[in-house]
Structure 1
């Protein structure tokens, strides 16, 4: 089975090796990675990995600023995607945590009954009080998260989707594929959530206000969860804020984004069962000629950028606001109270 992972990156150099190693571990066989405007050596590291046959690295083809959607349009025609049995579109801070079988994508597909698409629900991981960037696996550093059924005042939570080759595709979205126009009802695909249940009809046909990426999270995680480490350390978050969104123009990673994702009321450590294997796979990638040095250079540039930003009054002010921010956003606290649930 060939599984192609597709992603877009900008200044993710310190985190690439872990993400690629993780996906190789769970069954991804091919990588198509687009980069743009990198200043931390991300592109050089990807070029070296490409020279070793680990990834296919291309400059983002976007002519405007809609980097992700233009890249996904191009990806649909790329040989890596064309040759794949399954396509997995995800960001470098997103880790598919499979609970079924041996924790691999083939095991998840089998447990879901071999559908044509599987949409897996996000679990947002909090900062957990980690201030300094450390060059250690992200999945080991951050284990605090929100109530799995509620996020930021919503019971419908974002998803990302594994897509089979024969899906009746109009186009790939960042969170889900969209059905071919004019598709008759009898030709609609078999599409499940992360528990192997059919997705809701209105989600399948993109007929509601949450059509792009959301459906109720309750009961949707039995076989898989998508761990999203959107914040990481405080230092890394400041660098992310400075970088801006790789996918969309005019989107800031500010204190509001932080507050929405920094609920650490629950602990979730199931992904750590794979940590020893992940570290071995990371070591194998770093052992490829030239890779370790380029990784270390990206780490050094990341640290230097964090230090530079903290030399500016506006970034020290942002750091202080983030430190003082409540651990749960107001909308989520209100919903928890309304439903009579506990925060932890």
Structure 2
């Protein structure tokens, strides 16, 4: 039997879309959507904050077939909030890394893109991808972290094999993902070179970067041409950086790209074309310097999220929040407008509490 906190409402506010297009054209606010029904190992979370990610508005373009997503799709892959309901099978798993939850626990999660998201007052989260929020973080920091934290951990630790003393280049070091990458790599003992624009140089230094390259004033490959780096983490998707990576990476180095072209999800054709480009880069990297190129999609993983958060908390680091927005249609549309500009210094967070 499911367990609920007392006095829950029957309906909630939710922002959603039902057809492809631009956020301003397709997003709508439903003020009387029924609360989700608890089943299985799901946890019902009252959402306090939800962070935006570029993948949200890229999915709205229609590159991913609609049958892979709900008919009514609520965006927002990052949430923080409090547990208000436990599914009938919650807490009975013996899987490693799955935490136990109780009504009232502060939690955070990266949600599955194929299910409803965080821009609604209550959302369902499977217990395998939900983790308790560190006591040191408020709701904004917790909402800003899950997707980028999981992505950066998989990039640097699992795929990059980062170790103390490595030299790591982070392209897009002031953005939502890059700012976490700088902090996590530094916390793990790496020397970080961050790439950003002039207004963000001091921010990236404060995040822990040993050196910063202002890409408006200098080229990375002109400053570092002796195969200095063990890992290049490209959070932007720069063709120029990849083309010059042969002079930047050590022979055993890893070029890890986590962002494709903005046009990749414009249509299924664009998605296929982007896939072919990735395959070409993988083959080129394999032939020229070993298996040194990776582009991947991060999926929710509670164990990785909890570990990544622990690393940052251990060194008193927190995710960078660029701006906050109220939970209204106008404010959410403004947030997406800023997200699409690509100029945010950190994460954009919508507050629901």
* Normalised TM-score (structure 2): 0.26
Question: Which of 1 and 2 has higher RCO (CA within 8 Å, sep 6+)?
Answer: 1
Q: Name the structure where strand makes up a greater proportion of residues.
A: 2
* Normalised TM-score (structure 1): 0.27
